[in-house]
Amino acid sequence: MTADTKSALGSAEHKASSEKVREMKLNGHVGFDSLPDQLVNKSVSQGFSFNILCIGETGLGKSTLLDTLFNTTFDSTPATHDLPGVKLKSNTYELKESNVNLKLTIIETVGYGDQINKEDSFKAIVDYIDAQFENFLQEEMKIKRSIHSFHDTRIHTCLYFIAPTGHSLKAIDLVCMKKLDSKVNIIPVIAKADCIAKNELHKFKIKIMSELVSNGVQIYQFPTDDETVADINATMNSHIPFAVVGSNDFVKVGSKQMRAREYPWGTVQVENETHCDFVKLREMLIRTNMEDLREQTHTRHYELYRRCRLAEMGFEDSEINITEVWEQNRQELDVLQAQEDDMRQKFVQRVKEKESELKDAEKQLHAKFDNLKKQHADEKKSLEEKRRQLEEELNAFNRRKQMLEQNNSSSSSITGKKKK
């Protein structure tokens, strides 16, 4: 057996041994079984964040349903129907239940579906979701990161409110959900479900799911891979879309105060599962699958956005690695830096040449000014001299004139005396 053969066999045995993990038995308690408790304590101390996006036409009860979901009253102002475009309103709240802190961010659409031209109604929503992904990506790419303290504003779930028409989905609903299904976990809900009779509501749900499937819209499905929640999630997946009713009014039913809506024909109890699917939605959204929604947002939707953005920057796993891209970018940066230095030097040279030209022009102007000043002084001196000569001539003329006048007066007086 040659040395190369022995080396190849040795490397193969080493690889096989490294891939096989040996299971060992402990002779006593070590203590790493407390790792789950450590994770729970750390998570509780850090707190949790959950971000809900509510999309629906004005007046479908988005704010009321959220108040009902979290059993509180959030800040909300009624929206008008005359907005020129779709806007998003975001509010963040600090909630505490038992010893668990939750930073809840609620984003609601304002003016959605109120415009005559609804073609671009989804654009503002898509831009907002991408902006939150971009903020998280920029934080991840920093040299000095602070992910643990960074406020994660990525949308974890989207409650899409469907008008209770009882017929079919609107075109704006299908277009918007199709644009968003790869960016966020969509959970469709039928708003104000107490407006539809039970038999019509069942047909309406079937119609909605049929239209979603035929148009290729991927909505969020509750996970069934965990045995502890597989049965209930599988059952609840068949109830989507949830027909919900929200209310901020409390009505006394028996001996309890319950959220309900009163009508002339009776009372609709929000938490009565025979009246609506509100309890099902709350159980699935908050109590059972909130962490899965957060995980799906990070591992599926954000990773898809991250891959696309890195591909735009030139990072491709199959073609080039990060080091090569960094080196290439550094070389391009060096070339750009050299071009910038060359342009700066040319600019400085031109500035110096221009300054030299300006200095020469300034010297010429100073020389011309001095020459003109000297000419002006000479002309002034010459004029002063001529003025002095003229004054002397004038004075001499005046003296001669006076002498002549005196001579004439004296001669006239002598002539008069002779005549007498």
Q: pLDDT value at position 420? A: 57
Q: pLDDT band for position 260 (50/70/90)?
A: confident
Alpha-carbon torsion, ordered 322, 325, 327, 332, to 10 deg: -160
Q: pLDDT band for position 290 (50/70/90)?
A: very high
Q: Are 236 and 291 in contact (CB under 8 A)?
A: no
Q: pLDDT value at position 332? A: 86
Digit-coded pLDDT (tens) for 66-88: 999 998 888 877 777 778 889 99
Within 8 A by CB and 6+ apart from 130, the residues are: 183, 305
Q: pLDDT band for position 40 (50/70/90)?
A: confident
Report the pLDDT averaged over residues 288-317: 88
Give the chain's mean pLDDT.
Answer: 86
> Which SS3 state, helix, strand or coil, does residue 254 take?
coil
What sections of 62-216 are H helices per DSSP?
62-69, 123-140, 171-180, 198-214
Residue that the structure tokens 């920029």 belong to: 138
Residue 3 has pLDDT above 50, yes or no: no
Q: pLDDT value at position 21? A: 81
Report the pLDDT averaged over residues 316-340: 76
176: closest CA among 221, 237, 129? 129
Report the pLDDT averaged over residues 272-295: 91
Q: pLDDT value at position 175? A: 93
Q: pLDDT band for position 2 (50/70/90)?
A: very low
59: closest CA among 277, 246, 260, 239? 246
Alpha-carbon distance of 123 to 175, in angstroms, equals: 11
pLDDT more than 70, % of the chain = 92
Q: pLDDT value at position 115? A: 83
Residue 373: C-alpha distances to residues 42, 125, 201, 379, 413 (Å)? 88, 75, 103, 10, 59
Report the pLDDT averaged over residues 126-133: 94
Name the residue with higher pLDDT: 116 or 186. Answer: 186
Q: pLDDT value at position 209? A: 93
Q: Are 112 and 58 in contact (CB under 8 A)?
A: yes
Residue 351: C-alpha distances to residues 336, 337, 354, 359, 363 (Å)? 22, 20, 5, 12, 18
**Burial grade of 223 (CB within 10 A; 0-12, 13-18, 19 or more):** middle
Which helix or strand (DSSP H or E) is residue 261 part of? strand 256-263
Name the residue with higher pLDDT: 321 or 161. Answer: 161
Residue 241: cis peptide before it, omega within 30 degrees of 0: yes
Q: pLDDT value at position 244? A: 92
Helix axes 303-313, 123-140, angle to 10 degrees: 70
Which helix or strand (DSSP H or E) is residue 160 part of? strand 157-162
Digit-coded pLDDT (tens) for 391-417: 999 999 998 888 888 888 888 777 766
Report the pLDDT averaged over residues 141-152: 83
Report the pLDDT averaged over residues 209-221: 93
**Burial grade of 334 (CB within 10 A; 0-12, 13-18, 19 or more):** exposed
In the numeric block, which tokens belong to residue 172?
């704006």
Predicted TM-score (pTM) of this structure: 0.70
Digit-coded pLDDT (tens) for 191-214: 998 888 888 999 999 999 999 999
Phi, psi of 248 (to 5 degrees): -100, 0
Digit-coded pLDDT (tens) for 10-33: 555 555 455 678 888 888 888 888
Q: pLDDT value at position 312? A: 84
Digit-coded pLDDT (tens) for 170-193: 999 999 999 999 999 999 999 998
Residue 318 has pLDDT above 70, yes or no: no
Q: pLDDT value at position 316? A: 67
pLDDT more than 90, % of the chain = 48
**Burial grade of 34 (CB within 10 A; 0-12, 13-18, 19 or more):** exposed
Q: Are 258 and 250 in contact (CB under 8 A)?
A: yes
Report the pLDDT averaged over residues 247-271: 85
Digit-coded pLDDT (tens) for 342-390: 999 999 999 999 999 999 999 999 999 999 999 999 999 999 999 999 9
> Which SS3 state, helix, strand or coil, does residue 149 take?
coil
CA contacts within 13 A on the Cβ side of 81: 7
